[in-house]
Amino acid sequence: MKGRSLPEGGRVALALLMATLALVVLRNLLPDPLIRLPQTLILPFADWINAVFAFARDDLGLMRVTRAFSDVVEVCLDVTANLLYGKSRWPRLGPIPWVVIAASAAVAGHALAGWRLAALAGGTFIWIAVMGQWKWAMETLSVILVAAPFSVALGLALGMLAWHSRRAERVLNPILNIAQSLPHFAYMIPVVVFIGVGPKAGAIVTIIFSVPPMIRMTLLGLRAVPAEIIESGRMSGTTRLQLMTRVRLPAARTELLIGVNQVIMQSLAMVVLASFIGMPGLGQKLLQLLQALKIGLSVEIGITIVLLAIVLDRMSKAWAVRQPSHHDEGSGWLQRHRHLAVWAGLVGLGFALVTLHPYFAVVERAQALSMAGPVDAAVGAFIDMVSPVTDWLRWFLITWVLIPLRDGFLWLPVSAVLVFLAGIGWAVGGPRSALICLAFFLPIALSGWWDRAMITVYTVFVAVTLALLIGVPLGLLGAARPGRARRFLLICDTLQTFPSFIYLIPVVMLFGVNDVAVIAAVMVFATVPIIRYTIEGLRSIPPEIVESAQMSGAGPGQILWHVKLPLAVPTLMVGANQSIMFALFMVIIAAFIGTQDLGQEMQRALSSTDVGKGLVLGFAVAFMGLMADHLLLKWARGRGT
Amino acid sequence: MQRTTRLLLGAAIVALGTSPLRADDSPDPIVIPIHNWSSQIVMSNVVGQIFQGMGNSVEYVSTDSQAVYEAVRLGDATLELEVWEGAFGASFRSALEKGGIHDVASHNAVTREDWWYPAWTKDACPGLPDWKALNDCAALFATPETGDKGRFLGGPVDWLKHDQEKVDALGLNFVVVNAGSAAALWAEIAAAEKDKTPIVLFNWTPNFAEAVWPGEFVNFPEWVEGCDKDPAVGPIPDKTYDCGNPANGYLKIAAWDGMKDKWPKAYATLQKVSFTNAQIAQMAKLVDVDGMEPEDAATAWLEANADTWKPWTE
């Protein structure tokens, strides 16, 4: 930005930034209200929210509605729970033996995308069974199997509503924006109040969390249906309902199925967090194991979650790209239903195996294989190996970098921060962006959580800076060869689905309970999107441009610095934006290490089920994310054109 | 194997425990909440399996350990087996006032939560467990973030332990750093164990950690009633919290008021349930040290301790 001539608004921006400088330099002379807002200006947002909730719950009888809805969910949960792990509820048929489920998954995989997916799907379920995690995994799946369809249906309905009426869309859009940047814990507190705890609460929090992408994809899909298709539908004399169900929705199939895919991935992301409010299964087990420092066993569960995510992701994507197949007329039933026949055969075989040996029905924990020993040994050896370095690093970072930075952030006057943000906003997108920045940050100051918010900002700032320093070079390295790029992206995918809680324990063992540990944990998580987007940004550069640079005699270093990187900047900005979002999510979870920021208060609000406080803190985090999002995307767009 | 032992156990209990005089228990499941520490999970499974042996159906639901009192009060969960005075006394009392929940019985076990150190710390600071000796060794516990002062690693802030007040009242040369979870506390002990670094942190009994890392509580001036409220009580005349935590806090069982009528037999058994410190630590050890699953640990414990629990079902 510096090198360009300043546009019209540039002078205002410069003035605002100079004002910031003045406020900082003159800090000690400033009147107190400019340093921290006076107590009289702090608005009791939490009390207001609590009053609204109390009114909705007690006077409007919303509690009865939510309880009725949760009862419906519970009936569905009982069915899947019975079938998958034999909870004693209607229809009292289960549990289905694991061989049968593994075989079914393999057949489904083959039907959707051939042998490789069949092997992956079948193998995943065999892994789960022989590692002795069957019951936990089925507890998890029993909730996801209920939550995902509910979420898809709800998303479809709301998406159609938004498509139908502009007004609904205008209401929904900001809600979706905020909902997607609220930390997970903020959702959970109202759910505990209205639904209680247990599997149904877990299912409902999963539904709430996974519905926004489905709404967006439905809207996108319906919008994209070509007018000709609708015309031809009209000409065949369809009613409005038929037009929707027979023409529009099928035409939007691909988008809708991508929405389904997103729903499934989001549901799996909630597995561990939802166990805080009573969702049983893998997540709950993972937390218990981490509590007892059993890293190896938790890694096994982490692998299961990643495998399940990969299988479900591949399956739903294969379903999205598969076009409906049509058989030749006159082909036999068996030909048309080959997969069904094979499946029936395998299921029969499975039940036969079960009568031969109970191992094929249930693998007891005592019979389970485990690789926890070697994993624990490896983690221990790694910690021993690096601890001389980490001890020094910890001392250096804390004394020379983190404590001064943190004190600096806390020292800044509120007024300076606000004026600075307005200035940045003005520079990037004119008066509108300046106002947007203020609209996002002023409420944080007014909420009275300023100091804690600044600690969150400081943590995210340091973590994302480090993530950029590490992630961009790694991305450059990865993008150098296509094969390597694929491997790097696969690692990125895995790290992203791997439950973040597992990082926390080794990080504490390495650095102790302090900011270094927190920042290390956040950084691991924030580096992933930067690597990914660096690779994608570099790979999407048209080869002609690189060639023409080569022809004009530029060396590889020059091409990188003067051609490739500038062209990749817009994509990189999206990466940095994602990185900030990830860091904000992780910084809340890092409260389990021990922090003094918004996350710690959020944890406290969850355990005292304080809805108002939880939502205020959640909004504070969401607003930071949305502001960063606005600034970075605006800037990237400005650069791109 | 395990299934058959469980069934046999169940049959034995049914044979012993049915008495024609009492009304029958409801077939609805008794919902037992479990939390994130192992002794409570195993104990819940032990009592759950006793109930199952009596012919009841039992379900376990994992919940937050503070929010659970609200759930019990509303009947969403039926009972709570570990109400710690120090940690959950406040939540329990406020739920009691709202009604719907009551105090069923107290365990034989006493609870204690206070500053604690693993055995190797004493080698570096031989005057322990006296608190004045600890204060003289404060520099041993210094970390980069605490400067010259020692670091005391406290539990999560929402446990409300008043460590800072204690530091102020007794003039300790320590800075309180709060860990975010119990897991973070254990990870710190495990890391300190590798090179025997002195460490002083928040800990409690009964707890599996006693079995893994032997250690002692710091001896602060003895707890006297009112020491936390009245400055005059305790050795320092003008300070509150100038004392240790109570060394014999209660460990209670709480239940939903409706349980008595809905599951009268199970309730009668629950009234007799009482575990000792040693039994609770052993339950935790089966899981945390021996690596058993909580339900298997409960079955194993029941098999080994039939003399203890059989009388409760009669």
- Point out the residue among B60, B67, B157 whose CB comes nearest to the CB of A600: B157
pLDDT at A429 over 70: yes
Which segments of chain B belong to CATH 3.40.190.100? 112-217
Q: Which helix (H) or strand (E) holds A500?
A: none
Residue A291 resides in a domain: yes
Q: Are B30 and B57 in contact (CB under 8 A)?
A: yes
CATH class of the structural domain B2-110+249-313:
alpha beta
Residues A308, A202 within the same domain:
yes
Digit-coded pLDDT (tens) for B239-294: 889 888 888 889 999 999 999 999 999 999 999 999 998 899 889 888 887 878 88
Which residues belong to CATH 3.40.190.10 in chain B?
2-110+249-313
Kindly state whether B287 is in contact with chain A, defined as any CB-CB distance less than 8 angstroms: yes
Answer for the pair B37, B10: CB distance below 8 angstroms, yes or no: no
Say whether both A317 and A253 belong to one domain: yes
| Claim to verify: residue A203 and residue A84 sit in the same structural domain | yes
Q: What pLDDT, on a 0 to 100 scale, did the predictor assign at position A161?
A: 94
Q: Are residues A79 and A102 in the same domain?
A: no
Name the token pair of A191: 């759910």
Instruction: Annotate A382-415 with three-state secondary structure.
Output: HHHHHHHHHHHHHHHHHHHHHHHHHHHHHHCCHH
Q: pLDDT tens digit string along A485-517?
A: 999 988 988 888 888 888 888 899 899 899 999
Verify whether the Cβ–Cβ distance B190 to A198 is below 8 Å.
no
Q: Which two tokens stand for residue A118?
A: 């069949």
In a domain, A404, yes or no: no
Q: Across the strands, what pairs with B203?
A: B114
pLDDT at site A640: 53
Residue A412 placed within a domain: no
Residue A204's domain comprises 65-89+151-321
* A84 and A112 co-located in one domain: no
Residue type for position A473: P
The answer to whether residue A70 sits within a structural domain is yes
Looking at residue A618, its pLDDT comes to: 94
- Please, which pLDDT band fits residue A1 given cuts at 50, 70 and 90? very low
- Verify that A75 and A172 share a domain, yes or no: yes
Quick check: is A173 in a domain? Answer: yes
Q: Do B180 and A594 touch (CB under 8 A)?
A: yes
Task: Examine the domain organization and report whether A237 and A110 are in the same domain.
Answer: no
- A126 exposed, middle or buried (CB, 10 Å; 0-12, 13-18, 19+)? middle
Overall domain count for chain A: 2
Q: Which residue has the higher pLDDT, A560 or B309?
A: B309
CA distance B78 to B32: 6
> What are φ and ψ of residue B205, in 5° steps?
-130, 145
Average pLDDT taken over every residue of chain B: 87
For A219-261, the three-class secondary structure string (H helix, E strand, C coil) is HHHHHHCCHHHHHHHHHCCCCHHHHHHHHHHHHCHHHHHHHHH
Lowest pLDDT segment from A113-122, A123-132, A322-331: A322-331
Alpha carbon B161 to its chain centroid, in Å, reads 15
Concatenate the DSSP letters of all residues of A96-155 into one string.
PPHHHHHHHHHHHHHHHH-HHHHHHHHHHHHHHHHTT-HHHHHHHHHHHHHHHHHHHHHH
Residue B14 predicted with pLDDT over 60: no
Q: Provide mean pLDDT across the span A589-602.
A: 90
Q: How far does the CA of residue B33 sit from the closest CA of chain A (Å)?
A: 9
Instruction: Identify the residue among A291, A301, A391, A398 best suited for mutation to test binding to B, counting B beta carbons within 10 A and taking the highest.
Output: A291
The answer to whether the CB atoms of B63 and A292 lie below 8 A apart is: no
Q: If pLDDT is split at 50, 70 and 90, which confidence band does B66 have?
A: confident
Establish if A111 belongs to a structural domain: yes
A222 and A297 share a domain? yes
Residues A80 and A193 in one domain: yes
Specify the CATH number for the domain of residue A278: 1.10.3720.10
Q: Is there a contact between A292 and B181 if contact means CB atoms under 8 Å apart?
A: no
- pLDDT at position B2 is 52
Residue A342 has pLDDT above 80, yes or no: yes
Q: A443: which 2 tokens?
A: 């409420």
A270 and A348 assigned to the same domain: no
* Chains A, B: CB pairs < 8 Å: 141
CA-based torsion, A505, A507, A511, A514: positive or negative = negative
B43 touches chain A (CB under 8 A): no
Q: How far is CA B285 from CA A97, A297, B43, B140, B206, in A?
A: 32, 17, 12, 31, 11
Whether residues A81 and A102 share a domain: the answer is no
Whole-number Å distance between alpha carbons of B101 and B78:
9
Residue B95's pLDDT band (cuts 50, 70, 90): very high
Domain boundary among A346, A366, A386: A366
ipTM of this complex prediction, to 2 decimal places: 0.83
User: Which among A207, A606, A129, A127 is positioned nearest to B67, based on CA atoms?
Assistant: A606
Assess contact for A518 and A459: CB atoms under 8 A. yes
pLDDT of A123: 96
Report DSSP state, residue A332: -
Q: Which of B5, B52, B64 is the best mutation test for A, with the most CBs of A within 10 A?
A: B64
Inter-chain CB proximity B64 and A594 less than 8 Å: no
Assign B15 a pLDDT band (cuts: 50, 70, 90).
very low
Give pLDDT tens digits for A374-407: 999 998 899 888 888 888 999 999 999 999 999 9
Of A288, A321, A354, which one is at a domain's C-terminal end? A321
Helix (H, G, I), strand (E, B) or coil at A37: coil
Q: Which of A87, A290, A387 faces B183 most closely, judged by CB atoms?
A: A290
Judged by average pLDDT, the poorest of A246-255, B225-234, B256-265 is B225-234
Put simply, the chain B residues between 64 and 123 with a CB less than 8 A from any chain A CB are 64-68, 70-71, 74, 76-77
Percent helix, strand and coil across chain A, each rounded to 5?
85, 0, 15
- Note whether residue A261 is domain-resident: yes
Distance, in Å, from the CA atom of A136 to the CA atom of A544, rounded to the nearest integer, reads 53
CA distance linking residue A603 with residue A186, whole number of Å: 9
Among left, alpha and beta (phi > 0; psi -120 to 50; other), residue A281 is: left
Residues of A in contact with B294 (CB under 8 A): 288
Rg (CA), chain B: 22
Fold (CATH) for B112-217: D-Maltodextrin-Binding Protein; domain 2 (3.40.190)
Q: Mind spelling out the 3-state secondary structure of A81-103?
A: HHHHHCCCCCCCCCCCCHHHHHH
The span from the CA of A258 to the CA of A91, in Å, is: 32
To the nearest whole angstrom, how far is the Cα of A276 from the nearest Cα of chain B? 7
Q: Based on the fold, state whether residues A191 and A85 are members of the same structural domain.
A: yes
Q: What is the mean pLDDT of chain A?
A: 89
* Chain B residues with CB-CB distance to A603 below 8 A: 156, 158, 180
